Amino acid sequence: MISKRISTSLSALYILLGSLLAFCPFATADELMGTQPRQVSLVELEDADCAQKDGKLIALINSDAGISYEVWVDRWFLNVQTADHTRHILSPGQEPVALGCSQTRSGAQHWTIYSIKAIQH
């Protein structure tokens, strides 16, 4: 009898917690970027190949003069996240790292920064 009441109480508690979690805002990677270094960014560059497809070349750049960063980037194609989860090491003064064209023959694509971590030398 007591175990049945405990079981019923736990079930009610789980339902209550589940209901409360449904209203909790979860932070997305883009929202968390407010706490990430602003020295690393995605930029649009002019590129002849991309211009033929009405797009721009998307690249990663490190504008910090003294710190290297490990950056993980996700690719999206036609607004669907792909399995491409790539790691890039950006050194100070390095040329922008090209990711690809914003437009392909098959459609639009874009990249989002998943994480940025300063690398100590």
Question: How many structural domains comprise the chain?
Answer: 1
Give the whole-number percent of the chain exceeding pLDDT 70: 69
In a domain, 65, yes or no: yes
pLDDT at residue 120, rounded to an integer: 78
Give tens-digit pLDDT for 70-86. Answer: 999 999 999 999 999 99
| CATH code where residue 48 lies | 2.60.40
Q: How far is CA 62 from the centre of its chain?
A: 16
Q: What is the pTM of this model?
A: 0.68
Residue 6: pLDDT band by 50, 70, 90 thresholds? low
pLDDT at residue 1, rounded to an integer: 57
pLDDT at residue 12, rounded to an integer: 52
In a domain, 106, yes or no: yes
Residues 75, 79: Cα–Cα separation, whole Å: 9
In a domain, 23, yes or no: no
In a domain, 8, yes or no: no
In a domain, 76, yes or no: yes
In a domain, 66, yes or no: yes
For the ranges 1-15, 37-51, 102-116, the maximum mean pLDDT occurs at 102-116
Question: What is the pLDDT of the chain when averaged over all its residues?
Answer: 81
pLDDT at residue 35, rounded to an integer: 53
Domain that residue 112 falls in:
30-119
In a domain, 75, yes or no: yes
Asked whether 94 and 62 are in contact (CB, 8 A), the reply is yes
Range in 2-11, 60-69, 88-97, 98-107 with the lowest mean pLDDT: 2-11
In a domain, 37, yes or no: yes
Is the pLDDT confidence value at 41 over 70? yes
